[in-house]
Amino acid sequence: MTGRILRNLYLAALALFIAMPMLVIVVFSFDANRFPALPWGGFTLNWHREALADAMILSAMKNSVIVSLGTAVLATVLGFSAAYLDYRYMFFGKRPLMLAVAVPPAVPVTILGMAMLAALSRTPMFGTPAGIIVCHVAIAVSFSMALIRLRLGELGPDLEAAAWNLGASPLAALWHVVIPFCKPSLIAAFCLSAAVSFDEFMVAWFVGGVNETLPVRVLNLLQGQVNPKINAIGTLVLAISLILVTLAQRFARLGGAGKETA
């Protein structure tokens, strides 16, 4: 019995530790104190208003939306290609290709950012949202491929073969059978890729140049004076991340049920 109580206490402490920073951001974005402190200084929406009036924050927000949407679309398409390739075919060079897709998240973003900056600095993409997108896709495709590959594992050997047997060409079977079957995981991959891109700040900081995304704006604000606007943007950023990740989980789980056949 005491074991049980201790266990639950420990789990609660862990949950609190993990949730604490996010709670602090959200709660103190509504605090009237200029610098978050106890006691609570009263409820205000000032910081949110100020943040939304800040031109740099607005432009960062615009960049973030462009970058994460672009990343999500491309990473989902490329992630599906890689997943289907891995699921269906055996070919020379498959292992290195799959490694090139899977490994990027395992490389520290500082090094990745430096390498991508070195490579992009001689191209016109440097300092543009497009430059951030191509780099983010290279990272996010790993997550996208993993989610879609899991779903493909549930496809079962017969469904696609049945389509061929009924006269569908490989491309037609892909379009009419495999992609509809993978739809939940495609949505999940889209949301997760968007979330990965939306939160990434090192690579975006290195290759984005003057085009800041929201997390880069936060990073730059952090290096300056204490600024209550950070809490306000933070609340927004966390809300968007939370929605994206929750959606990704919902759809990925839908795929996990593996009952419906689209």
Contacts to other proteins from residues 77-136, by CB under 8 A: 77-79, 81-82, 84-85, 87-91, 97, 100-101, 103-104, 106-112, 114-120, 134-135
Q: Which phi and psi angles does 41 have, rounded to 5°? A: -90, 10
Under the binding rule (CB under 8 A), the answer on residue 166 touching other proteins is: no
d(CA 217, CA 123): 24
B/e letters for 132-157, b = 16+ CB within 10 Å, e = fewer, are: bbbbbbbbbbbbbbbbbbbbbebbee
Interface stretch with other proteins, choices 53-61, 65-73, 180-188, 232-240 (CB under 8 A): 232-240
Under the binding rule (CB under 8 A), the answer on residue 249 touching other proteins is: yes
Under the binding rule (CB under 8 A), the answer on residue 72 touching other proteins is: no
> Which of 16, 53, 58, 170 lies at the binding interface for other proteins (CB under 8 A)?
170
Q: Which is nearer to other proteins, 46 or 220 (CB)?
A: 220
Q: Which is nearer to other proteins, 32 or 245 (CB)?
A: 245
Helix (H), strand (E) at residue 57: helix 55-88
Q: Which is nearer to other proteins, 116 or 259 (CB)?
A: 116
Taking residues 2 to 21 in sequence order and writing x for each that binds other proteins by CB under 8 A, - otherwise, the string is -----x--xx--xx-xx-xx
The two structure tokens encoding residue 151: 């779903």
| Residues 207 and 116: beta-carbon distance below 8 Å | yes
Q: What is the CA radius of gyration of the chain?
A: 22
The two structure tokens encoding residue 185: 């995981």
| Shortest distance, position 145 Cβ to other proteins, whole Å | 8
**Residue ranges in 40-69 that form contacts with other proteins under rule CB under 8 A:** none
**Residue ranges in 177-216 that form contacts with other proteins under rule CB under 8 A:** 192, 195-196, 198-199, 201-202, 206, 215
Size of interface with other proteins, in residues (CB under 8 A): 87
Give the residue among 76, 67, 71 at the shortest CA–CA distance from 187. Answer: 76
**Residue 31 gets which letter from DSSP?**
B
The Cα angle at residue 96 between residues 95 and 97, in degrees rounded to 5: 90
